Structure 1
Amino acid sequence: MNKTNTPPRLAGKLLLKLLRDDLAEEVLGDLEEKFYLTAERKSLSKARRNYWYQTLHYLRPFAIRKTQSTNSNITTMFKHNLLLSFRNFKKYKSSFFINLVGLSTGLACALLIYLWVNDELHVDKFHKNDGRLYQVMMNHQMTNELTTGPSTPDFLAENMLKEFPEIEMATGVTPSEWFGNFTLVQGSNFFKATGQFAEKDYFKMFSFPLIEGNAEQALDGIGSIAISKDLAEKIFKTAENVVGKTMEVQIINFKYPVAVTAVFENLPTNSTEHFDMVLNWKMWQNMSDLAGRQVNWGNHGPNTYLVLKEGTNIDEFNKKIAGYIKSKRETSTVTLFAAKYSDRYLHGSYENGVQAGGRIEYVRLFSIIAIFILLIACINFMNLSTAKASRRVKEVGVKKAIGADRKSLIFQYLNESILLTLFSLVVALLLVLLVLPQFNDITGKQLSLNFDLSLVAMILVITFATGLLSGSYPALYLSKFNAAFVLKGGRISTSVGQLWARKGLVVFQFAMSVILIVSVVVVYQQVNYVQSKNLGYSKENVIHFDKEGKVVENQDAFLAEIRNIPGVVNASTIQSIVVGSQNSTQGVVWEGKNPEDNIRFEVVTVNYEEIETLGIQMLEGRSFSREFGADEEGVIFNESAIKVMGMEAPLGKTVNFWGGDKRIIGIVKDFHFESLHQKVNPLVIRLEPGKTLKVMVKLEAGKEKETLERLEAFYGEFNPGYSFEYSFLDQDYQAQYVAEQRVSSLSKYFAGFAILISCLGLFGLASFTAERRLKEIGIRKILGSSVWSIVWLLTSDFTKMVGAAILIALPISYYLTSNWLQDFAYSIELTIWYFAGAGIAAMIIAWVTVGVQTLRAARVNPADCLRYE
C-alpha cells in the first residue's frame, strides 16, 4: 500500500475540508464520488476495499460531531438533502423521467377527478336552508312492487303547513319540464322561456338571489311573475327597473296578463333547477279548473317542498306523515316521507321505498379510480427505487460510516420522493390547465382551477400523501443496510418476501388496468346497445315543437298543411314527447278485476295520426281514425297492459278510468317510452286532441335539410311572430343516457392513463433487469443462444406477472360490470370475449412494452456485455 495514501494521511486531508463549514457538502460529495470510483468496482481487491473502509472508519468520530453540528442547523440539512436529491435525479435520469411522467399523469388524473367529484358533491348545496330543506316523496304500493316518486296532490303543501307544527314553510312547484316553453308577448315581440308555478314562499325557501323585488312579495298575486336576469335583458334590454312592467303569458290556449314583480340572478351551474321564470300558484290552479283537470287526494302532479323548523327529528317526522294521504282518502295505498332536497341529485334512485344509489355511484367509482391511478404511479416509484437498491447501497454505507443514523437517511429519501412529487405537481397542474376545456366538454360542466383555500389544501394533501406513500417503502428498505457489510463489498440478496412484494405490486398494477379495460368495453357496449336498440317506434328523423299561437287555434288546418309539404312523411300532436315518464293512473277498472289489485298504467294523450307518425306497430284492432266518428270514447292498450289485466279477446270490451267508460279498439306492441333502465309498464293511449302540447313531424330520410327549410318558411307565414324552434326526438332519447355516455368517455381516458403509467413502470423494470443481466446475456450468446431465446428469457417473468394479474382481474371485473348492468332493465349479455379480449390486450401491451427493451438488450455485442461492470 502506498505510504502517501495511508488511511490516516488521506483522512487528515479530508478532515481539513470537513472542518470548513462552507465545504461540508462538497466533502460528503467527495467521499461518495471517491468510493463509487473505487469500492464499487467488482474487480477491486479485498485489501483495497479494506483500505477505504479503514479511511472512513478513521473519520467517523469527527464526522459524527460534524453531522451533529450540521443537523442542528435545519436549513443546512435541508439544503444538503436537496443537493443530494438533485444529484440522484441527475445520476438516474431514466428512473427520474419515468417517475416524473407517471406521478405527474397520476396527479393530473386525480386533480381532474377531484374537481369533478367536488362539483358533484356541491350540487344544490348553496341554499341557506339546505340543512332543513326537504322534498316530500310518495311510496306507491302496487300489486307486485313498491314504487317511489315525487308527484304529490296539488294542495299537499298548503294542508301540511297548517297541520304539522314542525313545518316552517312549504310550497308546491310544477316541474318546468311539464310545459316545455311558455310564450311571452311584450308589445309586438314574442319570446320563449321555460317556467314553473310555485307558491308565495318559494323565494324565501330557495336561495335564488333577487336583483329586484323582495322574496315576500315576489309571488304574491295571481298576475305575478319573477324572471331571470338573462330573460329580463332579452325582453327589456336591461335587468334594472323592470319591476312593474307588463306582458302576456301564453301556454296552449291559455293567455294571462302578468306584471314583473321580481328579477332573480341567473341560476348557478350547480343547481338542478332549470327555469327562466316563476309564476304564481293561483294561476296554475285557475288553468287546472278551466282545463277540467281533476284535483283531489288521489290525483298526483306537482312537487312539494318543505322547510322544517330547527331541531326537527326527520325520522320522527317521517313516521308522523307516513299515513297522511290515507287519513284524507281511505282507499289510498300511498305513504309519504321527506327526503333532503340536496340529496336528490346524488341519491335519486329508490328500490322498494328505500334509497338505493344514483349518481353517487359514479362519484364513488371515479374517486376509487383516482386513488388506484395514484397507487399505480406510487408503485412505479417503489419498484424502481427498490430495484436499483444495489446502486445506492454504497451511498448508504458511506453515510452510515460517517455518522448518519437511520432516521436521517429515511428523512433524506422521503425528502427526495416529496421533491419529485412536487416537480410532478407542477407538470400535473400544467396538464390540467391544458386539458380542462376538453374535460369540461366531456363532463358537461364548467370546472376551473380557482386556487381557493380548499383546493390548495386538497392539492397539498394529495401531493404530500403521494410523496410519503411512494417514498416510504424505499426509504425503509434502503436505510436498513449495515455500513460495514456494504463497504467491505457485501452483496445485497433479495429475500423471497421482497421479491414477491415487488412482483405483487406489478400484479396489482396490471390487475387494475385489466379491470378498467373490461369496464370500458362493457360500458361502451351497453351505451351502444341503448343507442341502437329497436324501441318499438321510429325516433329517427322525427322533430317536435310546441303548439302556440295560431297553431293552437287552427290545429287541424295546420297539420293538414304540414302533411302537404314535400319531404314530410306525417304529422300529428301529442301531450308530451314519447321519451320519458308520462302521466299515470291507478284508477283503471275492467270486468273481472281483483278489487285488491293496484296497478299503475302510464297514460299517453294523442291526436289522430300520432301512432302512425311514430311508427308504433298495431298487434290487434286499429288506430284512432276519423272514419269511425267519436273515437274519443275509444282507447288503445299495449301488450303489457293486456297481460296484467288478464284479458282474453280484449277488443270491444269496456274499461273505466278518469270517470268515464272507454272501449278498447286496439292493442299496440310494447314500445320503450321510458329509458332502458325501466321495464315497459302497462300503457293506455287515449285520444284527446285539445289537450296535446307538442307537434310531431316525421321527415323523409335524406331530405331533412330542405324539408326543415320549407317547414320554417311555412311556420313563419302561418304563425307570424313566433319562432320555429324544434328538437329531434332521437336527441331527446340520447339525452336520457348522458350520464352513461360521460362515464364511458371518462373511463376510456382514465383507463388509458392507468395503462400508460403501468407500462412506464414495466418498461423501467425491464430496462433495469436487462442491464443487470448483461453479462449473463453475453455468456448465453457466446454459448449459442439466439436473440429470441434471450428475449423470451427476459420477458418470461413479466409474462407470468401479467398473466397472474389477468387471472385476478377477470372475476373482479365480471362482478363489477354485472352489478352495473343490473341498473338497466334491458342490457347486453356479458360474453367471454369481453374478458378474454381485455386479457389479451393487456398481455400484448405488456409484451410490447417489455419486448422493445429486452430485444435491444439481446442484440448487444457479447464482448460489450462481458466488459460491463
Structure 2
Amino acid sequence: MLYHHFLLLYRNFKRFKSTFFINLIGLSSGMACTLLIYLWIQDELNFDKFHENDGQLYQVMCNSENSEGIVTNEATPGILAKALQDEMPEVEHAVAAIAPAWYSESTLSVNDNNVKGTLLYAEKDFFSIFSYPLIQGNKNRVLEDKNSIVISEKLALKLFQTTDNVIGKTVDWQHDKQYIVSGIFADIPSNSSSQFDVILPFELFLADNPHLKEWTSVDPYTYLLLKKDVNIGQFESKISIFIKNKYKDSEITLSIRPYSQGYLYGKYENGVQTGGRIEYVKLFSIIAIFILVIACTNFMNLSTAKASRRIKEVGIQKAIGASRKILIRQYLGESLATTLVSLFIALVIVQLLLPQFNTITGKHLILDFSKDLLLSIAAITIFTALVSGSYPAFYLSGFNPATVLKGKVNASLGELWARKGLVVFQFALSVVFIVSVLVVYRQIEFVQNKNIGYSKDNALSFDMAGKVENILANTGTFLSEIKNLPGIVSASSMDNSIIGQFGSTDDISWEGKSPSDRIGFGNVGFNYDMIETLGMGLIAGRSFSRNVSTDSAEIIFNETAIRQMGLEDPIGKTVKMWGSERTVVGIVKDFHFESLHANVKPFAIRLEPLNTYKIVAKLKAGTEHETITQLQKLYQKYNPGFVFDYKFLDDNYQSQYIAEARIGVLSRYFAALAILISCLGLFALAAFTAERRSKEIGIRKVLGSSVVNIIVLLSGDFTKIVFAAIIIALPISYLIVRQWLDSFAFKVDLEWWYFIGTGILVLLITWLTVGSQAIRAARINPVHSLKDE
C-alpha cells in the first residue's frame, strides 16, 4: 500500500509539473521568509537571557517629575548600590556600573601596540551578578584592587597575542596610567545589550567624580541580584522612597525592572512601561504568519484548480473500493511531500541569504539546528502541510463516484466564495505591505533631508585623547592649527555631543519661576565659534565672543526654552544655573538634539572654552579625503600613540534611525514576496476559473465572441475580486501607518496618492497576471473545450 501511494505521488507530480513547481516556489519562499523571521525573533526574545540568574536580576530605575510628566531613566546615584546592599535584606548583590562618555573608547597599550576598547567601570560583585564567564581570574576578586583591570579575550589576543599567562601583566591605559591584568572574560555574546572590552574598578570613577557620592547626583546604573522568593511588589514599595529617606528634599522615586526586559521593553511614558522593540517582534511575527498562510492558500487554490482533471481518478478509486479516509491520506501525503521538498529548498535559501539578512538586521544569526530550531522547523512543516493540504484532501475525497463519472460535478457557492475570499485576503495584505513600504520610505527620506537646525553635512567629530590636563591645555592650540589646514572651513570644540549624548538638568532658575515648575533642560558646553561651525541660526542677541571677557558667565537658550520659561525680552536677563548666575546673551533657533520621535525640548548652551574635548571640524566639499589625512597627521602630533577615530555628524544623526531604516528595507522584501506569492495565488484562481468555464468559453466563441471579449470577461471577474481587496485594505493600511507615524513628533503627511497609487499598481499587477491565463483560455479551439472526454 505504501509503495502504491508513493507511485501515485510520483505520477501526479510528473503529470502536473507546472502546478508542482508553482507550489514549490510559493511554499519554499513562504517557509524561507518564515524561518528567517523566526531566527530574528528568537534572537530578539533571547537578548540578555543568557545570564544564569536572569529570574533574579533587576535594574533600578529613577522616576522624576517635570513639566511633561514623570520621566523614567536608568541613571542613579553613585552610592545607591552600596546602600541597597547594606540596608536591604532582599538584596543578595548590588553593583553600580557605567560606560562613561568621556572614555567610552579607551586606548590600551602594551609596548608600542595600541588597541582601542570599550570601557566599563563596575563594582567588585559585577561577575557574581552577570554571567560573563572568566577564562582566567577569580570572579570574586578581579575587581577588588584599584590597580586591576579585566579585559576581554579578543582584547587580550590583540594586546598579547595570547590568553595564556596574561594575569599579572601590565597594561597602559590612555598612556596615562598603568593597571595589572587580574582577569580575562570570554567575548560577550552578540545577544547582549551591554558590549564592552575593558572593566576598571568603579571606585576609580567615583574618585574622579566625587559629586556622585551625593544623593542629589545621578549618572551610573544600578543592578540588583535579589534573593530567591522575594516578593517583588513588596520590595518595589520599599525601594520607591529609599532616596527620600536619605535626602528628604529629593523628588526621585525608584522602581525596578527585570534586567532582560530592558532591551525589548525600554520605552516609558509618564512613568509607565509602554513597550519598545517588542512592537517590532509582534509585527514581524504577524508578517511571518501571514506570508506562510498566503503560501498555503496558493497550494489550496492550485490543488482545487486541477481538481477537474482528477475527478474521474477519484471516482474510479472510490468505485473500486477506496475509502474517503484512504483518499484523504493520499492527498495529505502529497501535501506533506511537497512541503518537505519546499522545506529543503527553503533551508538552502535561508543559508544563502543569511549573510545578507545579517547585514540588513545587524545581527549574527546562524542555522545551528539546535533542539529548539528543529522543533520549530517541524512545527512549521506540519502546520504548512496540514493547512495547505487539508482543503484539497477533504474537497477531492468528498466527490460522489456516480456523479463524478457522469461528469456532473459543480462547485458550491460557498466553495467559490471561500476561494475568492482567500485571494481577497492575499491581495489585501499585499496592499497593506505596499502602502507601509511607501510610507516608511517617505518618512526615512523626510528624516534624512529635514533641516534639523544645524548643518551636519561635511562635518566630522573626534575626541582629544591623553591626560585630561593635557587635553584641556592643548585644545586651543590644536584648534588653531586645524583652522590653518586648507580643507577646513571652520572648527571648534564642545564638552559633549549634541546628538543623543548631551547633558540634562533641571537646576536652572529665573525671575518669575514658579516653585512647582520642573523644566528639564538639555545642555552642552561650547567653545568659541561652535555655533558658527554648526551653522545654528540666531534669532536674537549674539553668539559668544572673544572680545567680551564676561562670556564665561553667560548663556544662550533655544526658542523652546525661552517660551517655556515665559521670559519676555530675555536678552540681558539673569538666570541661575548650578548655583552660578549667568546672563542670557542670545537665542538660537530650535534644533533637533534628539531624534524626530521627540518634540524639541528646552536647551541651554554654556561657554566652556577651557573644558571642551570633542572637536568638530567642517570640511570643504570635495576635499574630504585629503583633509582627513592632514587631520590624522596633526592629531598624531598632539595625541601620540592614540588612534585617530572620527565620525561624521551625519552618520551620528542617521544612527538614531537604524531600527526604522532596517524595518524599511525588510518591509520592501516582504512586500515583494507577498506580491509574488499573491500573484501565484491569482494565477491559480485564473487557471481554476478558466478550466471550470472552458465549455462556456467554447460556446461563447462558437456564438461569435472574440478573443478580446473572452479576455475582458475573465479579467473582469478578477478585477472585482482584487478591487474588493483594495477597498478592504486601504482603511486598514491607513490605520497601521498612522499609528506608526504617531511615534514621530515630526512626520510626513499621509497623501492621498499613497493609497490610490497603490490601488492602481495592484490592479495593473492583477491584469498582467491574469492576462496570460485569459489569453490562453480565449485562444483554445472551442472543439477541444466542447467535446466530452
TM-score class, shorter: over 0.9
Instruction: Map Cα deviations across residues 102-122 of structure 1 (whole Å, 9 max, x no partner).
Output: 111111111111111111111
Question: Aligned residue for 1:283?
Answer: 204
**1:706 and 2:626 aligned:** yes
Name the residue aligned to 2:640.
Answer: 720
CA distance in 2, matches of 1:856, 1:514: 27
Match runs of 1:770-789 below 5 Å = 770-789=690-709
Distance in structure 1 (CA, Å) of the matches to 2:248 and 2:639: 49
Does residue 1:256 correspond to 2:174, yes or no? no
3-state DSSP class of the match of 2:432?
A: helix
Which of 613, 621, 628 does residue 693 from structure 1 map onto? 613
Which residue does 1:45 correspond to in 2? none
SS at match of 1:579: coil
Q: CA deviation at 1:424?
A: 0.8
Given the alignment of the two structures, is residue 538 of structure 1 paired with residue 455 of structure 2, yes or no?
yes
User: What does residue 95 of structure 2 align with?
Assistant: 171
Find the counterpart in structure 1 of residue 654 from structure 2: 734
- Show the 5 A alignment for 1:258-337: 258-289=179-210, 293=211, 295-337=213-255
Q: Conserved in 1, the CA contact under 8 Å of 2:698 and 2:781?
A: yes
Give the distance between the partners of 1:533 and 1:773, measured in 2 at CA.
56
- For residue 58 of structure 2, the aligned residue among 127, 134, 142 is 134
Query: What is residue 548 of structure 1 aligned with on the other side?
Result: 465
| Mapped contact 1:98–1:764 kept (Cα < 8 A) | no
User: Shift in Å at residue 452 of structure 1?
Assistant: 1.6
1:566 aligns with 2:486: yes
* Structure-2 residue corresponding to 1:180: 104
Equivalent position to 1:397, from 315, 323, 342 = 315
Identify the range of structure 1 (228-237 vs 373-382) with the bigger mean alpha-carbon deviation. 228-237
Residues of 1 paired with 2:612 and 2:278: CA distance?
Answer: 36
1:493 lines up with 2:410 in the alignment: yes
CA deviation string 1:740-796 (max 9, x = no partner): 111111111011111101101211221332344344334433433332221110111
Q: Deviations over 1:216-238 (max 9, x none)?
A: 11111222211111212222222
Q: Aligned runs of 1:584-603 on 2, under 5 Å?
A: 584-603=504-523
Q: CA deviation at 1:287?
A: 0.9
One-letter amino acid of the structure 1 residue matched with residue 440 of structure 2 = V
Q: Could you give the per-residue CA deviations for residues 683-722 of structure 1, whole angstroms, max 9, x where no partner exists?
A: 1111223432311111111211111122122223343322
User: Out of 415, 435, 438, which is 1:518 matched to?
Assistant: 435
Identify which range, 766-775 or 753-762, moves more after superposition: 766-775
> 1:812 aligns to what?
732
Q: 1:799-851: per-residue Cα shift (whole Å, max 9, x none)?
A: 11100001111111111111111111111111111111111111111110001
Q: Please say if residues 227 and 260 of structure 1, whose CA atoms lie closer than 8 Å, have aligned partners that are also in contact.
A: yes
Structure 1 pair 538/868, CA: closer, same or farther in 2 (3 Å)?
Answer: farther
Aligned equivalents of 2:418 and 2:784: distance in 1?
33
> Do the aligned residues in 2 keep the contact of 1:510 with 1:802 (CA within 8 Å)?
yes
2:374 aligns to what? 456
**Structure 2 unaligned blocks of 5 or more:** none
In structure 2, what is the Cα distance between the partners aligned to 1:177 and 1:797? 64
Aligned letter for 1:440? N
1:152 aligns with 2:76: yes
Structure 2 counterparts to residues 380-391 of structure 1, below 5 A: 380-391=298-309
Residue 754 (structure 2) aligns with: 834
Cα separation, 1, equivalents of 2:306 and 2:585? 81
Q: Deviations over 1:129-151 (max 9, x none)?
A: 11111111112211332211101
Shift of the alpha carbon at 1:300? 1.4
How far does residue 178 in structure 1 lie from its aligned partner after superposition?
Answer: 5.3
Letter in 2 for 1:263: I
Q: Is the 8 A contact 2:499 2:652 kept in 1?
A: yes
Give distance in 2, aligned partners of 1:771 and 1:409: 23
For structure 1, which segment, 845-854 or 762-771, has the greater mean C-alpha deviation from structure 2 after superposition?
A: 762-771
- Determine the structure 2 residue equivalent to 1:203: 127
Write the distance in 2 (CA, Å) between the matches of 1:419 and 1:496. 31
Q: Secondary structure at the match of 2:174?
A: strand
Distance 1:480 1:555, change over 3 A: same
Mapped to 2, the partners of 1:332 and 1:773 lie a distance apart of 80
The equivalent residue for 2:592 is 672
Q: For 1:347, give the aligned amino acid.
A: Y
- Give TM-score scaled by structure 2 length: 0.97
- 1:310 is displaced (CA, Å) by 0.5
What is the count of residue pairs matched by the alignment? 786
1:611-647 CA distance string (max 9 Å, x none): 1111111111111221101321111111111111100
Distance across 2 between alignment mates of 1:559 and 1:529: 34
* Contact 1:603–1:683 (CA under 8 A) maintained in structure 2: yes
Judging changes above 3 Å, is the alpha-carbon distance between structure 1 residues 209 and 294 closer, same or farther for their aligned structure 2 residues? closer
CA contact (8 A) 1:176 1:274 kept: no
- 2:493–2:613 Cα contact (<8 Å) kept: yes
What is the match of residue 484 of structure 1? 402
3-state DSSP class of the match of 2:547?
helix
| Structure with max Cα Rg | 1
CA contact (8 A) 2:424 2:721 kept: yes
The code of the aligned residue for 2:554 comes to: G
CA distance in 1, matches of 2:149, 2:402: 87
Distance across 2 between alignment mates of 1:320 and 1:110: 45
Alignment partner of 1:796 out of 703, 711, 716: 716
Displacement of 1:189? 4.5
Following TM superposition, by how much is the alpha carbon of 1:395 offset from its aligned partner in structure 2, in angstroms? 2.3
Residue by residue, what CA displacement relative to the aligned partner does 1:536-579 show, whole Å, maximum 9, x if unpaired?
Answer: 01111111111113554311111000001001011111122221
Preserved contact between residue 802 and residue 843 of structure 1 (Cα < 8 Å): yes
1:453: Cα distance to partner?
1.4
Secondary structure of 2:93's counterpart equals: strand
Confirm or deny: 8 A CA contact 1:167 1:306 kept in the other structure: yes
Write the mapping of 1:38-437 to structure 2, written as runs, cut at 5 A.
77-177=1-101, 179-250=103-174, 255-289=176-210, 293=211, 295-437=213-355
How far the C-alpha of 1:306 sits from its partner, in A, is 0.6
Alpha-carbon RMSD across the aligned residues, in angstroms, is 1.7
Match of 1:11 in 2: none
C-alpha change, 1:358 and 1:337, in structure 2 (3 Å) is: same
Q: Equivalents in 1 of 2:382, 2:776: separation in Å?
A: 37
Gaps of 5+ in 1: 1-76
Contact 2:242–2:253 at 8 Å: present in 1 too? yes
- Structure 1 residues 630 and 305, CA gap change in structure 2 (3 angstroms): same
Measured after TM superposition, the shift of residue 188 of structure 1 is: 4.5
Normalising by structure 1, report the TM-score.
0.88
In structure 2, the CA distance between the partners of 1:759 and 1:845, relative to structure 1 (3 Å rule), is: same
CA contact (8 A) 1:575 1:691 kept: yes
**Structure 1 171/723 Cα, relative in aligned 2: closer, same or farther at 3 Å?**
same
What whole-Å deviation, never above 9, does each CA across 1:20-57 have from its counterpart, x for those lacking one?
xxxxxxxxxxxxxxxxxxxxxxxxxxxxxxxxxxxxxx
The answer as to whether partners of 1:581 and 1:674 remain within 8 angstroms in 2 is: no
Mean CA deviation greater in 805-814 or 599-608: 599-608
**Residue 662 (structure 1) aligns with:** 582
780-789 or 278-287: which moved more?
780-789
Moved more, 807-816 or 316-325: 316-325
Q: Distance in 2 between matches of 1:598 and 1:842?
A: 53
